[in-house]
Amino acid sequence: MSLRIGILTGGGDCPGLNAVIRAVVRTSEARYGSSVVGFQDGWRGLLENRRVHLANDDRNDRLLTKGGTTLGTARTHPDRLREGLDQIKETLDENGIDVLIPIGGEGTLTAASWLSDEGVPVVGVPKTIDNDIDCTDVTFGFDTALTIATDAIDRLHSTAESHQRVMLVEVMGRHAGWIALNSGIAAGAHMILIPEVPFDVEELCRLIKRRFQHGHSSFICVVAEGAKPAEGTMELRVGGVDEFGHERFTGVAHQLGVEIEKRIRKEVRTTVLGHVQRGGKPTAYDRVLATRFGVNAADAAHAGEWGKMVSLQGQEIGLVALSEAVSQLKRVPSARYEDAAAFFG
Ligand code: F6P
């Protein structure tokens, strides 16, 4: 049966979002004769009834390799969504939307799960470079961010060695240290700090000193933006929360660098990769994963599998309940960190 599908991208942008849109549009139109309406700038498009018709044309085809999101995205405070429930339902009715496919991270999928509870037919697609959505082995965007971070750390080795420096590299990873962990392993870092494991600056200084005493000429430490010092070991500035209710970071790597220089008088340089990690073309891996998510989300929408999220389970794409997927974040298990720790120091 042909349907009218609504689609939106919410939260931070991410390489692969356009590939999902392309796949949903193509599959819906070519396989089911359905039409797709894109809502602009995340949930705001639904609240303000701003939309575009998406067609399975040349423009859609070219989306595969484009970074960012052609629909635009935005963060929206959950309270604003709750207040706007009637407006959202009205927009969906007015546009004749049968099923909504929101593509997003924790915030967007939590909103999707709540909308589903409110009776809106929804199929979620998980995205985040942080890779912290539960019930899926991987989210698209992660591999691209990891590749960018790994390449950047590879490049820092030469300067670190030439100048016998300590190099700190801050990567994204708000609640989970997947980018830090994997880029650190892939690029041969000498320490990795992640949000899941509070760090001890004294211990870090000891490892740095020992490495140089053993005749090595550099020390590279990857720091996730959400990494925190163990209580009583170092003061980190507090940034409060932003307008969307998220913790505002104050630059852990810079503050750690100052602390290390003070404690062991070693030259430290800090690089913050920031949004570079979210930009540009998705890797081949992310294009494939995003495309498979898009095809399967369209199929699930037409099969009436609402209230679900597409997910990667091993090599297969499956469906999980949205409520289960958003009940917790997928953090780095301690055993994975232990593997990396074999190379610390
Ligand atoms: O959720 C992905 C993420 O890239 C986080 O790692 C980061 O803290 C945040 O988004 C940055 O968001 P913004 O683009 O709003 O600054």
Q: Tell me: do 320 and 255 sit in the same domain.
A: no
Residue 20 resides in a domain = yes
Task: State the binding site.
Answer: 12, 75-76, 105-108, 128-130, 165, 172-174, 225, 269, 275-278
Q: Tell me: do 91 and 188 sit in the same domain.
A: no
pLDDT of 1 above 90: no
Query: What is the domain range of residue 252?
Result: 143-278
Instruction: Identify the band that residue 336 occupies on the pLDDT scale cut at 50, 70 and 90.
Output: very high
Separation of alpha carbons 112 and 328, rounded Å: 15
Closest by CA to 5, choosing from 73, 102, 105, is 102
Residues in the ligand 1 pocket, defined by CB under 6 Å: 12, 105, 128-130, 172-174, 225, 278
Percent of the chain with pLDDT strictly greater than 70: 100
Residue 154 resides in a domain = yes
Against a cut of 0.85, is the pTM above it?
yes
Segment 187-197, tens digit of pLDDT: 999 999 999 99
Distance 163 CA to ligand 1 centre (A): 32
Instruction: Identify the band that residue 98 occupies on the pLDDT scale cut at 50, 70 and 90.
Output: very high
Closest Cα to atom 13 of ligand 1 = 12
Angle between helices 284-302 and 17-26 (to 10 degrees): 40
Of the residues 109, 278, 329, 330, which should be mutated to test ligand 1's pocket, given the most ligand atoms within 8 Å of the CB? 278
Three-class SS of residue 299?
helix
Residue 339 resides in a domain = no
Kindly state the tokens that stand for 74: 């935005």
Percent of the chain with pLDDT strictly greater than 90: 98
Residue 335 resides in a domain = no
- Atom from ligand 1 closest to the CA of residue 278: 4
- Atom from ligand 1 closest to the CA of residue 132: 1
Distance 193 CA to ligand 1 centre (A): 18
Segment 14-51, tens digit of pLDDT: 999 999 999 999 999 999 999 999 999 999 999 999 99
Q: Look over the chain and give the mean of its residue pLDDT values, rounded to a whole number.
A: 97
Q: How many residues are given for the chain?
A: 345
Q: What is the pLDDT of residue 277?
A: 98
How many H helices and E strands in the chain? 14, 11
Instruction: Identify the band that residue 223 occupies on the pLDDT scale cut at 50, 70 and 90.
Output: very high
- Atom from ligand 1 closest to the CA of residue 225: 8
Q: Tell me: do 246 and 291 sit in the same domain.
A: no
Residue 47 resides in a domain = yes
Separation of alpha carbons 44 and 98, rounded Å: 19
Kindly state the tokens that stand for 9: 């991208």
Residue 344 resides in a domain = no
Q: What is the pLDDT of residue 149?
A: 98
Task: State the binding site for substrate.
Answer: 128-130, 165, 172-174, 225, 269, 275-278
Q: What is the pLDDT of residue 205?
A: 98
Q: CATH number for the domain including 162?
A: 3.40.50.460
Kindly state the tokens that stand for 246: 């998220």
Segment 113-145, tens digit of pLDDT: 999 999 999 999 999 999 999 999 999 999 999
Q: What is the pLDDT of residue 38?
A: 98
Segment 266-293, tens digit of pLDDT: 999 999 999 999 999 999 999 999 999 9
**Helix (H) or strand (E) segment spanning residue 179:** helix 178-186
Q: What is the pLDDT of residue 102?
A: 98
Q: Is 105 exposed, middle or buried (0-12, 13-18, 19+ CB in 10 A)?
A: buried
Residue type, 206: R
Among residues 130, 132, 286, 299, the one annotated as catalytic is: 130
Last residue of a domain, one of 278, 312, 336: 278
Closest by CA to 221, choosing from 211, 231, 230, is 211
Separation of alpha carbons 45 and 238, rounded Å: 33
Distance 130 CA to ligand 1 centre (A): 9
Q: Tell me: do 188 and 220 sit in the same domain.
A: yes
Distance 22 CA to ligand 1 centre (A): 24
Overall average pLDDT of the 153-161 stretch: 97
From residue 204, give the alpha-carbon distance in Å to each of 200, 256, 271. Answer: 6, 10, 18
Three-class SS of residue 160?
helix
Q: Tell me: do 22 and 58 sit in the same domain.
A: yes
Q: CATH number for the domain including 100?
A: 3.40.50.450
Distance 299 CA to ligand 1 centre (A): 30
Residue 21 resides in a domain = yes
Angle among Cα 260, 262, 265 to the nearest 5 degrees reads 80
- Concerning whether 130 is annotated as a catalytic residue, the answer is yes
Residue 121 resides in a domain = yes
Q: Tell me: do 264 and 292 sit in the same domain.
A: no
Q: How many independent structural domains does the chain possess?
A: 2
**Alpha carbons within 13 A on the beta-carbon side of 50:** 11
Q: Tell me: do 8 and 91 sit in the same domain.
A: yes
Q: Tell me: do 186 and 269 sit in the same domain.
A: yes
